[in-house]
Structure formats: C-alpha cells, structure tokens
Structure 1
C-alpha cells in the first residue's frame, strides 16, 4: 500500500515539474532571438526585423506593406490588401507547414482573411531547412495590425508583432 501511495505522489510531482518547465511565463509567446545590437528588454509586441522562436520554428518578420495588387478571381474585394513577408526556419524533426502559421488582426481587432496575391506561399519545408513566405490579407481599414505567428499544430502561445500600415 505504501509503495502505491509513493508511486502516485511521485508521478504527481513529476507531472507538476514537467508542466512548469514547459510553460511559457511571458505574455507574448515565443522567445526573442537576440542580436548583439538589440537591447535585452522584453517588449509587449515584437517589431519588423526581429526574430523569435515558437516551439522549434524561428520566425523573422521581414516586411508588411500595402499593395495595389488585386486578384480578379478572388471571392472578396477588400478596399486594401496588405502583403506580409516573413522568414521561417524549421529547427524541428518533422516537415513544417508554412503559410498557415500566421493570423492577422486588423485595426478593429477582427481576424483578417487571407487574400490571394502573386507569390503566395502555401507549402511545407523539411527539418533543418528555411524559406521566405509571402502572404496577403484583405482589410477595409488601415492602421495598427497584430500579427500572430505559431506553427499550425502548436499548443504554445503565438509570437505577436504589432505593425502600423498606412
């Protein structure tokens, strides 16, 4: 009987330690990948040019800009289209879906729908490989956008970027 109680308590402690060790205590998801030129203070949101790691994936937001490009076959006709370019490095052991790992929220906090643009990336990359990703989003308003990067199958918090597009 005592061995069973000790075994149960030991298992509970082990689960507690594993849960604590794997939890993310920051509010902003991801881990900043430091450059020697960057300060080591943590920000509420990341910015263009910064690199962050979420799970086994390293993301670098390269650019976010308004584009005049329109797709004549698209179902929706948004007033504005923003083009997002980011770099992904797969540090994991499995193939990684890219182009589905970004959610964008507009100035009114509504989730934006993707919008087909030239060069749009929906693909996978092998372990240890990297790729630039291009994707578009339709929006009726310009202003502050929140970009959230997280691998498709991740349970961890997304790395959040705040960008102003005029």
Structure 2
C-alpha cells in the first residue's frame, strides 16, 4: 500500500496537536507521512512538498499551523489535492483566532477544509472519509466507527434514564 495522507506542520511545537491525526490513521490502517514544512522559514521546501505530493502517492494533505497560519492555504494554492487545515493555538497566537481566520478565510478558487482549533483528530477523520469514497473497506471501517460513537451515546443515555 502506498502512502495516502501527508501530515505537515509549521514547526515541531505543533506535533502534540498533529499527532492526533496520526493516531486516527493508525486506528484505520491508513498509511501516512509526517514532517515539518514551514511556509515562512522554508518556502522552497513547502513548494516542493506540495508540488510533488500527488506524484508521491498522497491523496489528501493535512496542514497544521499556528499564528499567521499560511501553510494550509499556500499548500492548497500549489497542489490539486484536498487540503485540510488545522488551526493550532501556538505560543504566539492571539488565542487561536489568528490561526482560525488565516486558514478559514481563503479566497475563492483556493479551498481549504478547516477544522476546529487544535482538532487534528477531526482532520484525520475527514481525510479517512475522503479516502473512503474510493475504498470500500475503509468506508466500512468508518461506518463501524460511527456506529460505535452512536452506541456509546445510546448506552450513556440509557444509564442516565434508568437512574
């Protein structure tokens, strides 16, 4: 099986957040790669990563960034692959709002799917859903995952209602 998802982040300080996406891929058996690609400090590396992503077998890119958070949008401007942006509340962040708005407010023509602040787990799940449109076994795993979520809520509701 070839690598399907790329997880990139602006700096190593984003790793504790972005690891949540990696955990999702391990759970679903999806191959991934993870690295640091800074839009501001290594723009040539970012350009090459985005330009070569599809030819290396990637189907989706998850890009996490804090502060000005240009990484997801810049990568999306270079590649034809879907890009999922994860705003990260970083040490230089304005309570995360700068990151959220930088990723969310993309101009028409350069879409970036944006998840909630620090929500790399949801980014991973969205990537799995995208991949499952072309992979029936992955779609079954996603349905099982959602069924398990529903079952947990129903069990909790039943416990509370019986008290």
Could you state the TM-score of these two structures normalised by the residue count of structure 1? 0.25
Bigger helix share:
2
Compare CA radii of gyration and give the structure with the larger one: 1
Q: TM-score, normalised by structure 2?
A: 0.25
